[in-house]
Amino acid sequence: VGGTLYQLSKAGKLCVPAMNVNDSVTKQKFDNLYCCRESILDGLKRTTDVMFGGKQVVVCGYGEVGKGCCAALKALGAIVYITEIDPICALQACMDGFRVVKLCEIIRHVDVIITCTGNKNVVTRDQLDRMKNGSIVCNMGHSNTEIDVASLRTPELTWERVRSQVDHVIWPDGKRVILLAEGRLLNLSCSTVPTFVLSITATTQALALIELYNAPEGRYKQDVYLLPKKMDEYVASLHLATFDAHLTELSDEQAKYLGLNKNGPFKPNYYRYTHFNYYLLIIN
């Protein structure tokens, strides 16, 4: 789903302007990182009552969702391993204190597998065959394809529905693997979404609609746009009062020094919410 608009646009088939609100910073951070940090715990507890302390968990994918899941589970005493295809995210995982492994190295030992990749067949039947009795498999990624659930619907395996959203898949030797939400999104199926996150998302979407509606002729063509930085900042500022957070305002002198408008936007578009130190000037 994610890439569809960009693919349409690339193929010249997008017939209206579109705004990619998912990639607004507030949307990403709240819907993905901060929300998943809580919903992974909530979803696992409500379905399985598992104790997190001491459990060995592998999280497939160290994007925002994976980062959120890992932070929460590590904080509660789980031992977390990461799989990654992207060396930058893998190096981030190392620096954050996680072993980066291939799934095959660890599959026999883990108590829980969580997929957060956006990819398909990240957990295959072959791997499910090697999991421990009583281990849990669930998906926090983007669709129901990350775990190859179809491969489990074969005659030699028995499915037992033990409660809503929880199936025991039983191997001929009696081994049980606990599959949550039949491989669909755990955070949507088995946990709740805080109203605060809904507010962030709804505000972002409403502002995007207002922007597209109000924009002067020609500002937006038949393409996919990111939410203007300033509106992204506006969404955030509307939610600060909830936390009794007090922004500092730039003095005129400081705004001039930084080359910024006192009311924002405060960052260039390519900013990843990071910091600048120095540049390398190269003469060739």
Contact 152, 179 (CB under 8 A): yes
Contacts of 94 (CB under 8 A, 6+ apart): 100
Q: Which stretch binds a second copy (CB under 8 A): 115-123, 148-156, 161-169, 173-181?
A: 115-123
Q: Which is nearer to a second copy, 170 or 260 (CB)?
A: 260
Q: Does 125 bind a second copy (CB under 8 A)?
A: no
CA distance 219 to 216: 6
Q: Which stretch binds a second copy (CB under 8 A): 153-161, 162-170, 173-181, 241-249?
A: 241-249
Q: How far is the CB of 233 from a second copy (least distance, A)?
A: 5
Contact pattern for a second copy over residues 31 through 70, marking x by CB under 8 A: xxxxx-xx--xx--xx--xxxxxx-x----x-xxxx----
Site residues for a second copy, 183-222, by CB under 8 A, read 191-197, 205, 208-209, 212-213
Q: What is the 3 state secondary structure string of 122-163?
A: CECHHHHHCCCCCEEEEECCCCCCCECHHHHCCCCCEEEEEE
| Tokens at 196, concatenated | 């605060």
| Tokens at 155, concatenated | 């005659």
Site residues for a second copy, 265-284, by CB under 8 A, read 266-270, 272-284
Secondary structure (3-state) at 262: coil
Q: How many binding residues for a second copy (CB under 8 A)?
A: 135
- Report how far apart, in Å, the C-alpha atoms of 15 and of each of 51, 104, 208, 221, 222 are: 51, 45, 18, 9, 6
Q: Which stretch binds a second copy (CB under 8 A): 155-163, 165-173, 175-183, 251-259?
A: 251-259
Secondary structure (3-state) at 36: helix
Q: Which stretch binds a second copy (CB under 8 A): 149-157, 162-170, 175-183, 239-247?
A: 239-247
Question: How far does Cα 236 stand from its chain's mean position?
Answer: 19
Q: Which is nearer to a second copy, 22 or 157 (CB)?
A: 22
Residue of 138, 166, 177, 236 interacting with a second copy (CB under 8 A): 236
Q: Does 21 bind a second copy (CB under 8 A)?
A: yes
Site residues for a second copy, 74-103, by CB under 8 A, read 74-79, 83-103
Q: Which is nearer to a second copy, 19 or 180 (CB)?
A: 19
Q: How far is the CB of 275 from a second copy (least distance, A)?
A: 4
Contacts of 56 (CB under 8 A, 6+ apart): 78, 79, 81, 106, 109, 110, 111, 112
CA distance 140 to 32: 10
Site residues for a second copy, 148-177, by CB under 8 A, read none
Q: Which stretch binds a second copy (CB under 8 A): 73-81, 150-158, 166-174, 176-184?
A: 73-81
Q: How far is the CB of 22 from a second copy (least distance, A)?
A: 5
CA distance 213 to 215: 6
Q: Which is nearer to a second copy, 155 or 259 (CB)?
A: 259
